[in-house]
Amino acid sequence: MHLKQRTISSSVKVSGIGLHTGHKVNVVFTPAKANDGIVFTRIDMPGQPMVRLGDFASISGGEAGRYSSLKIGDGQIYTIEHMMGALAGLGIDNIAIAMDGDEAPGLDGSAIEFVKALKLAGIVDLDADKKFIEIKEAICVTKNGASVMIVPADDFKISYALEYPHPLLRSTVTYAITQDVFERDIAPCRTFCLKEEADALLTKGLGQGANHENTLVFGPNGIVGNTARFADEPARHKLMDCIGDLYLLGAPVKGHVFAFKSGHNLNRELLKKIVEQRDRFASKREPLKLELKEGGGMDVRGIMNIIPHRYPFLLVDRIVEMEPGKRAVAIKNVTMNEAFFQGHFPSRPVMPGVLMVEAMAQVVGVTMLSNPALLGKLAFFMSVDGVKFRRVIEPGDQVVMEVEIIRARSRTAQAKGVCKVDGQIVCEAEMGFAFGE
């Protein structure tokens, strides 16, 4: 299993029409830095809303479980499972995806064209370890005679049993997922449906971009107007859908999936339970090892190892210098892509004042929790006093936060902090904290 994070080396564009909407769409994949994750942007919508994968709240379902989708601003992105399968199969952890429509292009109905485009852009390793979601205990979801279960494993495997009311749609496949296996045996497998399902989808306004080239349609006498690439292509495609759905969590999974007749809706229920298990085990905080860079600095990975904040609420990019338990200087680079600009004065974007204070509080939390006596605990923001805002912070500003611990006890601390832009103070406050498990 590949152990380094990956991105692409250059931008690449994929265009086509959606399988269900029939809408034309352009997708541009752009390289991203380590730990940036997978970020979608709808560039055709007001404010160009974005969503970063990693939590369950953004994942939504489709009509009768025919596709997977993401909530993004006031809109959606439909039928992204094949695209996500390609990213997962190639081990790409960090990438920016800009779309000018509401549905991913269907292309040939499989993931292979996405794979070819991403490989053409070039896949490169980053200087950061890959992050995995490790399954700790067996999880099982069942509904209406279908089931999907995942159990702990050292790598990623899927076993899928297909059982449709058609003699050609009954088979079982098992694969240990590697890049070679995905490209050769799984990515080329196209979506499929029964002839009566195709007719029903069209009456509902779906399948507008489907045809006999990008969708295997099974009639009473076999496939209509096409031939299979593999004898068990439908089962492999369902397995590929499962790979793409699991990658909606934004990180590869270590576990063995056993699926019986499952589809996108059941896969989504499994994702929900995986997130619940991940959060439950994450709350059992283990003793941490403090790793400071030269000069007492700390990158974003070190910050996230100390405090539990994550995007879009992590407001510290880097600790420049620090004396654990005493003082620190940190940086926040404010960009137009900040989540809060979508709703806070979008026509005149300024950083909310409460988030300036929150950013300083997070720096205080890192400073205090880097004290070996408090390492592994949580810092709870308890009070704020003497807050003053002197000017606004706008996109493009680099905010320098300077904090100092003015009083510390075993369970509480008082600190003062200032935010500066171009050497001028923009905000200052005194803050109180309590420490606990």
Give the pLDDT confidence score for residue 284 in this predicted structure.
Answer: 58
Scored b (16 or more CB within 10 A) or e, 110-120 reads bbbbbbbbbee
Residues 6+ positions from 138 with CB-CB distance below 8 Å: 149, 150, 151, 152
Tell me which of 57-71, 93-107, 371-385 is least confident.
57-71
Go through the domains of the chain in sequence order and give each one's CATH number: 4-282 (3.30.230.20), 294-436 (3.10.129.10)
Q: What is the pLDDT of residues 74-84, one digit of tens each?
A: 899 999 999 99
Mean pLDDT for the chain overall: 90
Give the pLDDT confidence score for residue 21 in this predicted structure.
Answer: 84
- Paired residues of 407 in beta bridges: 414
Give the pLDDT confidence score for residue 207 in this predicted structure.
Answer: 65
**Angle, to 10 degrees, between the axis of helix 81-90 and the axis of helix 112-121?**
50
Pairwise CA distance, residues 141 & 149, whole Å: 6
Percent of the chain surpassing pLDDT 90 = 64
The verdict on whether 237 is a catalytic residue reads no
In order of 132, 305, 379, 411, the CA distances from 309 in angstroms are 18, 9, 11, 20
Scored b (16 or more CB within 10 A) or e, 259-288 reads bbbbbbbbbbbbbeebbebbeeeeeeeeee
The whole-number average pLDDT for the span 219-230 is: 88
Q: Is the peptide bond before 346 cis (omega within 30 degrees of 0)?
A: no
The verdict on whether 344 is a catalytic residue reads yes
Q: Which of 23, 166, 264, 309 is catalytic?
A: 264
The whole-number average pLDDT for the span 265-286 is: 84
Q: What is the pLDDT of residues 105-163, one digit of tens each?
A: 999 999 999 999 999 999 999 999 999 999 999 999 999 889 999 999 999 999 999 98
Q: What is the pLDDT of residues 392-409, one digit of tens each?
A: 999 999 999 999 999 998
Instruction: Tell me: pLDDT of 210 over 70.
Output: yes
Give the pLDDT band (50/70/90) at residue 62: low
Give the pLDDT band (50/70/90) at residue 288: low
Closest CA to 296 of 356, 365, 361, 366: 366
Pairwise CA distance, residues 62 & 76, whole Å: 10
Helix runs in 220-379, H state only: 233-246, 264-282, 300-306, 353-369
Give the pLDDT confidence score for residue 95 in this predicted structure.
Answer: 97
Instruction: Tell me: pLDDT of 64 over 60.
Output: no
Q: What is this structure's pTM?
A: 0.66
Give the pLDDT confidence score for residue 274 in this predicted structure.
Answer: 94
Give the pLDDT band (50/70/90) at residue 180: very high
**Angle, to 10 degrees, between the axis of helix 233-246 and the axis of helix 81-90?**
80
Token duo for residue 259: 């699926």
Q: Say if CB 290 and CB 375 are below 8 A apart.
A: yes
